Amino acid sequence: MASLSPFIPVQPPRSADWMPAWRGFYGERLRNTVYGIAEPAFDVAIRTRRILGIKVHILMNPPAVERVLLTNKANYLRPRLAQRLLSPLVGNGLLSAEGEDWRTQRRIVAPTFAPAAVANMAETMVRCTIDNMAKWPKGNARIDIAAEATDATMAIIAHSLFAGDSRLVDPQAAYYIGQMLAAAGQARFMTLLGLQDWDPSATMRRARRSRDWLRKTLTEVVRDRGPDGGGDDFFGGLIRALGEQYAPEQAATLAADNAITFYVAGHETTANALAWTMYCLAAQPELQEEARDEAVAAMAYPAAERFERLTLLKQIFEETMRLYPPAPRFDREAEAPDELAGTPIAKGDLVSIWPWIIHRHRALWDDPDRFDHRRFAPEHRAGLHRFQYLPFGGGPRVCVGARFATMEALLIMAQWLSARRFALPAGFTPDPVGSVTLRPRGGMPLFVSPV
């Protein structure tokens, strides 16, 4: 066993006290949602603010989060404000649909992400990782692990859901997705006013160009497949199932909406989770050795069985997603009055759930900023409230790809660890920047050497 780890992973500076809301509209606070968060946020159950006339309740109390995501979920829908930015990209696909449209689409895709179906994709995940590593230098090198993670997860999503369509492994796509998500996470004045399409800033111009490229490319993928789906893969099945439920034109539009949804949601988040986990392993060489021993032993088994044997690596992955939740924040809008953590909620109020804050909250975790994977050992995990750890969200709209992402991340890291050692280059500290996802700004250049 590695000795008790005193590792405190990096986080952006906090402010000592609450800041006025307008400070979030410019500078680093606009670009980075996890920068300058007020210390008291990590102590209180709820904090209510008014931002340009909209009441926003930031919720840190797990039973109240449970009420929003599960027990009173019909009252809390994805906010119209977020839809304004995302719907030109993901349309009415699974991520943004509500009501019957959401239920129909979730029913269609659910079997693809059931445990047995995901296990069938394990070989593809490993094959894509081996191809990715084949491009790595053989000897000692500095490698941007965030870029490698994106490369591997992009290939995996393209091969396991879209029959390896070459348009989906275009390196340009990773750039476009990054630009889109960075802008979507910013609380910009023009967006709040509903004028995002006229926002002249360079950030929004790049975001619009990126959105247009993604929409055009994925619409072409759907058109080339035709109404019979053009194959027996996930996407072919999705096109056929939508064709049975909706009129042809609507079915084609929904197919494109979901293509973009699964393509973007299906690899960006996992790539970020991988980059942060490799940082935590690089910073703790003893723990990395233990994880390597486990990975090497697991290699003797077929890919689908390997996953169940990577128990230490899974705990490390989970602890990393506690400290660096790949989706650091998500929101809901109240449809009717309610009460949360003793605070009255009015129709139209926003409820903001921040895994970043909840996962580091002082009332919920001992020594919250310290890395300790043993929090996720079965005997300790059982003591957690199920809404105090929510990297994948919770309730019926929990991430449909959670098992896929976990298996993929563990198989990629097992492959990496069994062949290479990872270390932090002298003087390097990663820089977490939050938007829709939590990325390391400037990448994650690690020192990589053969084992």
The residues that touch ligand HEM, with contacts defined as CB under 6 A, are 94-95, 106, 261-262, 265-266, 269-270, 273, 326-327, 330, 391-393, 397, 399-401, 404-405
For 146, phi then psi, to 5°, come to -65, -40
Pairing mode, strands 432-434 and 350-353: unpaired
* DSSP character at residue 67: I
Shortest spacing between CB 447 and ligand HEM, in angstroms? 25
Closest chain position to ligand HEM (CB): 401
Shortest spacing between CB 273 and ligand HEM, in angstroms? 4
Pairing mode, strands 420-423 and 445-450: antiparallel
Shortest spacing between CB 73 and ligand HEM, in angstroms? 10
Shortest spacing between CB 263 and ligand HEM, in angstroms? 9
Q: Tell me whether residue 330 or residue 354 sits nearer to ligand HEM (CB atom).
A: 330
- Secondary structure (DSSP) of 157-212: HHHHHSTT-GGGG-HHHHHHHHHHHHHHTS--HHHHTT-GGG--SHHHHHHHHHHH
Q: Tell me whether residue 375 or residue 421 sits nearer to ligand HEM (CB atom).
A: 375
Q: Tell me whether residue 330 or residue 356 sits nearer to ligand HEM (CB atom).
A: 330
Shortest spacing between CB 373 and ligand HEM, in angstroms? 16
Shortest spacing between CB 3 and ligand HEM, in angstroms? 29
Tell me the C-alpha to C-alpha distance, in Å, between residue 126 and each of 182, 293, 299, 396, 409: 30, 18, 11, 30, 10
Give 386: exposed, middle or buried? Use CB within 10 Å, 0-12, 13-18, 19+: exposed
Tell me the C-alpha to C-alpha distance, in Å, between residue 335 and each of 56, 338, 373: 14, 9, 39
Q: Tell me whether residue 99 or residue 200 sits nearer to ligand HEM (CB atom).
A: 99
On whether the CB atoms of residues 390 and 358 are closer than 8 A, the answer is yes
The SS3 of residue 58 is: strand
Q: Tell me whether residue 146 or residue 421 sits nearer to ligand HEM (CB atom).
A: 146
Q: Tell me whether residue 215 or residue 397 sits nearer to ligand HEM (CB atom).
A: 397
Shortest spacing between CB 390 and ligand HEM, in angstroms? 7
Pairing mode, strands 54-59 and 350-353: parallel
H or E segment and range at residue 142: strand 141-144
Other Cβ atoms closer than 10 A to 194: 11
Shortest spacing between CB 75 and ligand HEM, in angstroms? 14
Token code pair at residue 426: 């002298």
Tell me the C-alpha to C-alpha distance, in Å, between residue 147 and each of 76, 156, 186, 272, 315: 36, 14, 23, 10, 24
Shortest spacing between CB 165 and ligand HEM, in angstroms? 15
Q: CA 151, CA 308: separation in Å to the nearest integer?
A: 25
Q: Tell me whether residue 161 or residue 448 sits nearer to ligand HEM (CB atom).
A: 161
H or E segment and range at residue 439: strand 438-440
Count the helices and strands in the chain (H runs, E runs): 19, 12
Q: Tell me whether residue 95 or residue 238 sits nearer to ligand HEM (CB atom).
A: 95
Q: Tell me whether residue 33 or residue 269 sits nearer to ligand HEM (CB atom).
A: 269
Q: CA 430, CA 283: separation in Å to the nearest integer?
A: 11
Shortest spacing between CB 356 and ligand HEM, in angstroms? 11
Q: Tell me whether residue 214 or residue 421 sits nearer to ligand HEM (CB atom).
A: 214
